[in-house]
Structure 1
Amino acid sequence: MRKIMNAMAVLLLAKTAVAGAAEVDDRLYRAAIFSNRGEVEALIKKGANANHQQNQRSMLGWAAQSGNVNAVRELLAAGANPNAVDAIGHTPVMRAVETQKKDVVKLLLDSGASTQGADVYGRTLAHLAVETDDPAIVAAVLDAGADFNAKDADGLSPLFKTLQNFGERRNEIVALLAKHGVDLNQGSPYSTPLLFAIENQDAQLLKMLLEAGADPNVANESGRRPLHEAVADLALARQLFKAGADPNITDRFDEPLLFSIMNEGRPDLVEAFLEAGADANRPRSDGQTPLGFARDTGQTDLEALLKRHGAVDGDASPAAPATATIAKLAAQPAGTAPHVPSLPRYAGANAMFEQDAIAIYVTSDPVPAVGEETLRLLEGAGWSGGLVAQNPELRHMRFTRSGWTLEVQVSLARGLGNQTSIQYSLLPQR
């Protein structure tokens, strides 16, 4: 009986001790958030656990989030883990940064808190720092060695998060990142910092990025470059050319961008491209040269401009774009090769230029209606294929039949009084 009584007494004492420890730890939780100097230290001496977790967060995490510098200092002195993570992957210094507790941020970083790691959303200390719109916090995290080129779960860099935030001190933070050597070309899967500046018509940001060394030729994952977005703005285009943008890039159809500019009826933009080094003789995939295009579309001012920048006759003549194709057509047995002028086309469209392998027609009807009817007509004539790309001002189609490829582009021709241009180009199938 006595043995049983002794065992019960020991068990009771143990339960009392556990309850006492739990009470002390609970008091430590409150002290971490609200205490004055010395309270945390006193509770530690009474047996409180400096690494105790409450609601899946460490005492240091709670103290850091609340900005309790005294509690943070006393917990660190008692051996609290400065890198303990909470339920969403935040360390104490991440909590301090997120709540903009500058003194705690400095204390934790000076005490060796890690700048590495990410939360469950892929956000690093660097991402959290830029979201504060506070250059002082960003500078502290930069100086501590955090990786400002890391991507979060959405593929966004800290720099791009800075741009997206549109904070009052955004440009100040961008300048700070540039000064510390952060990659100014890191953006997101769908954009780059320069593309972002152009899309948002932010001339000051664009100037800052270019002067800091951002590359004007870096594309996003779909191949879009800054010049593609600035192509209708003469001032932006010149700014990009001054920074080294390549004027010989291609458009989304892999054709020289110069042709898109010419199609807009903007001699000033064409001249800017040519002055920046655009090749005045580089042909499209169908063989047509810039000079040939200018002649076919009746843009005599562009003809003169192109010639001043080295465009030459010969291959640039109206007959040249289809020369190789016509030769192959001539070599075919009679009746086996398609003849572009005989192909079905939009009713009421007027011919501007016709050859065996290339033709251009114009109509005043809108692009969508012309494109839809052209597609229907060619499919009805036995051509296999369809739309390759489209937008409100363009329908690009590709068809094949009997060893031949027919490219059809229906587009808004601003240089022709906003008429709709229908271009047929015939090529031997590869």
Structure 2
Amino acid sequence: MSLTLAAPATAQTDAALRVAILQDDPGAIAGAIRAGADPRAVGENGSPLAIAAMSGKARAVRALLDLGADPAAPGPNGGNAVSAAFFAMNGVALLGRDEAPEPARRAAALDVLRAIAARGVGLDVLMRLGPTSMTPLMQAAEAGAVDVVQILLQAGANPNAVNGGRYSALDYAVDRAPSWAALPQDGRAEIVRALLAKGARRDRAGADGVTPLARARRTGNAEVIAALEGG
């Protein structure tokens, strides 16, 4: 008589997948999925892809995408896998919130975003951030992250998406940098030009009735004002 081993319990395979993700181990990820873990499952912390994204695990992100993970699956705060890249450890590096920035860590964070954004899915999903909500492009524009803005626009992010306050990425780009912004802020005019090149509307006012140009004049960045005026 031959004995047949029972398939591992779902909880065990899902746990193995989580460990493999946190170890950034594509081989172990593939093994866990072959053993029965579902790369499209959604737990209390979101999908496996969202967990990999917010943890800054670029190899895990690519492996999961190759094995059928869904970029549109839920992530934290009402977002998805793209917005998960702006959350937790990866978000800190991506948006320059580090007290002591590490170039290698930020490069990995950019790789995470690039891999997910390239699928072109859910780029404009709003994620709750305190009393407001923002798309990934809004967050990148606010932080002054030129490279992040470029990745998102190239992937097809909508520069005219607005949140509940009717503010767009252009509004955030022309405003003053937030107090936590640690990235170089001399690229804000480049962000404005990139948004305008993709069709961002400079004439639409937010809930406060202020247009991007009026907002820029309040801020006083001459290069940003010139970009908005077409100079």
Q: Given the two structures, how large is their TM-score scaled by the length of structure 2?
A: 0.73
- Structure 1 equivalent of residue 112 of structure 2: 104
| Cα shift at 1:171 | 4.7
Q: SS of 2:127's equivalent?
A: coil
Q: Does 1:175 align with 2:187?
A: no
Q: Does 1:68 align with 2:57?
A: yes
Q: 1:141 to 1:50 in 2, by over 3 A?
A: same
Q: Does 1:125 align with 2:136?
A: yes
Give identity over the alignment, percent. 24
Q: Given the two structures, how large is their TM-score scaled by the length of structure 1?
A: 0.41
| Cα shift at 1:111 | 3.3
Task: State which of 183, 207, 213 in structure 2 corresponds to 1:194.
Answer: 213
1:239-278 equivalent positions in 2, closer than 5 A: none
Q: Unmatched 5+ residue regions in structure 2?
A: 95-108
Maintained 8 Å contact 2:50/2:84? yes
- Structure 2 equivalent of residue 184 of structure 1: 202
- Structure 1 equivalent of residue 22 of structure 2: 33
| Cα shift at 1:71 | 1.2
Q: Which has the higher helix share?
A: 2
CA deviations 1:338-392 (Å, max 9, x no partner) are: xxxxxxxxxxxxxxxxxxxxxxxxxxxxxxxxxxxxxxxxxxxxxxxxxxxxxxx
| Cα shift at 1:89 | 2.0
| Higher Cα radius of gyration | 1
RMSD: 2.7
| Cα shift at 1:142 | 1.2
Q: SS of 1:146's equivalent?
A: coil
Maintained 8 Å contact 1:126/1:158? yes
Q: 1:171 to 1:155 in 2, by over 3 A?
A: farther
Maintained 8 Å contact 1:159/1:186? no
Q: Which has the higher strand share?
A: 1
- Structure 1 equivalent of residue 102 of structure 2: none
Partner Cα distance (2:123, 2:71) in 1: 11
- Structure 2 equivalent of residue 233 of structure 1: none
Count of residues in correspondence between the two structures: 197
Greater RCO structure (CA 8 Å; 6+ sep): 2
Q: Unmatched 5+ residue regions in structure 1?
A: 1-12, 216-242, 244-430
Maintained 8 Å contact 2:141/2:191? no
73-82 or 176-185: which moved more?
A: 176-185
Partner Cα distance (1:197, 1:59) in 2: 40
Maintained 8 Å contact 1:58/1:86? yes
What letter is aligned with 2:223?
M
| Cα shift at 1:97 | 3.7
